[in-house]
Amino acid sequence: MNTLSNLLEKIQNAKTLDFGTIFGEAIELFKKTWLHGFLLQLFTILIMLPLIIIFYVPFLGLILAQQEGGYGNDQAIGNFFAGMSLLYILVVFVGVFVLGAVSVALNAGFYRIIKKFDYNEQVTTSDFFHFVKVKYLTKFFMLMLISMLIAIPSALLCYIPLLYVIVPISFFAIVMAFNPDLSVGEVVKVSFKLGTKKWGITLGLLIVASLLSQIVGMLLCGIGVLFTGAFPYHTTYLVYKNVIGFKDNDDINQIGLIEE
């Protein structure tokens, strides 16, 4: 298991990455994982569905009330917001973080799946739920909270700081996935160190990969986004792999080279 100092040292001594090479490798890796990427999108939708229902059901009541009194019925709108209890708002707020933490845990599981495909290891559907356990979910919950506390003020500052922090935040799940013994603070520290070191190439890869996945998905009648939406994860994975790597697999590869 990598220690914090070991991780930071690897990031500090990281080699220069080539955009074209990383992007090409991401496409080749995506060809192996596209079905599991589709499953990731479905699992995420199913997890967030209860929150979507809780959030939107009250608005159906508002629509019905407006239909009865006319769409210009200001009283119906006033009664709607007056009827929204503090408990309802609290449930929605907590639900966002709890279900969001589960969603990020699934993302971390997907990174493990990508690695297994990359190293020709056996993959099972249960790998998605590797981190859906209390001891991990508490960390993901805290990472979700930290992400919001960082992203919201950054967005309020004319979005310019958000361009910087979005890269380190994108590494939270993968750093946690391959270093689950790190504390929340250490995950954040490593993510920001890696995000700062490889900010330009990571941001470029995420933008291009996201645009490509959306364009191809829309060309496939819109529903194709479910199949292409996970593509950006592969670029993040490859940046992590080329900067920090995976000690166990590196050791095995070295043994194989010696035997040859």
The pLDDT assigned to 50 comes to 80
**Do residues 212 and 27 touch, judged by C-beta distance below 8 A?**
no
Dist. CA 228–CA 249, nearest whole Å:
28
N- to C-terminal Cα separation, the chain: 27
Sequential DSSP letters for 39-79 = HHHHHHHHHHHHHHHHHHHHHHHHHHHHHHH-TT-HHHHHH
The pLDDT assigned to 155 comes to 85
The pLDDT assigned to 256 comes to 44
Q: How many CB atoms lie within 10 A of CB 241?
A: 19
The pLDDT assigned to 52 comes to 76
**Do residues 225 and 17 touch, judged by C-beta distance below 8 A?**
no
The pLDDT assigned to 260 comes to 39
In a domain, 113, yes or no: yes
Dist. CA 101–CA 108, nearest whole Å:
11
In a domain, 222, yes or no: yes
Phi-psi region of 124 (alpha: psi -120 to 50; beta: other; left: phi over 0): beta
**Do residues 213 and 37 touch, judged by C-beta distance below 8 A?**
no
Query: In the chain, where does DSSP find H-type helix?
Result: 4-12, 19-69, 74-83, 86-118, 134-156, 160-170, 172-178, 184-197, 199-219, 225-228, 231-243, 247-259
The pLDDT assigned to 78 comes to 53
Q: Which helix (H) or strand (E) holds 227?
A: helix 225-228
The pLDDT assigned to 156 comes to 85
Dist. CA 171–CA 213, nearest whole Å:
19
In a domain, 258, yes or no: no
Dist. CA 176–CA 254, nearest whole Å:
25
pLDDT, tens digit only, all 260 positions of the chain: 578 999 999 999 999 999 999 999 999 999 999 999 999 999 999 988 887 777 666 666 555 555 555 555 555 455 555 555 566 677 777 888 888 899 999 999 999 999 999 999 999 999 999 999 999 999 999 999 999 999 989 888 877 888 899 999 999 999 999 999 999 999 999 999 999 999 999 999 999 999 999 999 888 887 889 999 999 999 999 999 999 998 765 554 443 433 43
In the Cβ-directed half-sphere of 222, how many Cα atoms lie within 13 Å? 0
The pLDDT assigned to 116 comes to 97
Q: Which helix (H) or strand (E) holds 182?
A: none
Dist. CA 74–CA 66, nearest whole Å:
9
At residue 98's C-alpha, the angle toward residues 34 and 135, to 5°, is 85
Dist. CA 56–CA 54, nearest whole Å:
6
In a domain, 131, yes or no: yes
In a domain, 173, yes or no: yes
Dist. CA 150–CA 168, nearest whole Å:
11
In a domain, 194, yes or no: yes
In a domain, 229, yes or no: yes
Domain extent for 154: 4-253
Listed residue (162, 22, 43) closest to 104, CA to CA: 43
Dist. CA 178–CA 117, nearest whole Å:
15
In a domain, 260, yes or no: no
pTM of the model: 0.85
Give me the number of domains the chain comprises.
1
